[in-house]
Amino acid sequence: MDWLNLIGIQFQNTYKMSSKTPLYFVPGLAANSRIFEYLQFDMDKYEVYTIDWLVPLSPEETIQDYAKRMSTFVKHENPVLLGVSFGGIMVQEMSKHIKTNALFLISSVKTSQELPKRLRIIQKTKAYKLFPLKAFQNLDQFSNLFLGDFVQTRIKLYENYMTMKDEKYLTWAIYNVLHWKQDMPLKNTIQIHGTDDAVFPIKHIDAPIQIKGGTHVMILNKAKTICTIIDEKLSVI
């Protein structure tokens, strides 16, 4: 056995033997993993990993096939997956390809019925096809539809996080948000939602854990509360 194979076996065993809970994070639509920088976990208990967006192989790549590619970055058995907004949809799809211990949805939806009426209208009328893609590459206009009012007051802050502006990805992602289909919540799904979320209003969300005053971007300004909830939930799983 050569030394490269030996290192590979040791690397795999490190993943399997760790007593820490592996947490994998997927950011929101067009966002990068820096949106998780305010989450602080006890590193004696948890190992934290982030997965950034991939460019779709083609406009026709299904969300199921895309999720399968994303799941190849998960190197642990029975991890905890956490996703924000569209990332919440993605971790649910990823969990259909790998076994997971729990799914945490932050500012996201657990069924397609939880999508707000305005997004359903856009989907049914195919109005999204009329959107000039460059408008979505303009952060100010993009944020109006998918990110909410909070961004308008902190646009410079968001320029640090909204960096995935590849045209193929944006077109693909917008289509798949609007056309996502899931009728029933998945097992072991824990949904954390802000009461002031303007993108996915809480009135459409069935029985989430509520964070008072939380907006669609509460991953930034309610991070301590989110971490506390996650730690409490994982302590009893």
pLDDT category, 106, cuts 50, 70, 90? Answer: very high
DSSP 85: T
pTM reported for the whole predicted model: 0.84
pLDDT at residue 61 in the model: 98
116-151: pLDDT as tens digits:
887 776 676 665 554 545 545 554 455 455 445 444
202-220: pLDDT as tens digits:
999 999 999 999 999 899 9
Burial 118-140 (b: 16+ CB within 10 A, else e): ebeebbeeeebeebeeeebeebe
Q: What top-level class would CATH report for the domain 20-234?
A: alpha beta
5-26: pLDDT as tens digits:
444 444 454 455 578 999 999 9
| C-alpha to C-alpha distance for 187 and 184, rounded to whole angstroms | 9
| C-alpha to C-alpha distance for 93 and 63, rounded to whole angstroms | 7
At CA 86, angle to CA 81 and CA 88, rounded to 5? 25
pLDDT at residue 57 in the model: 98
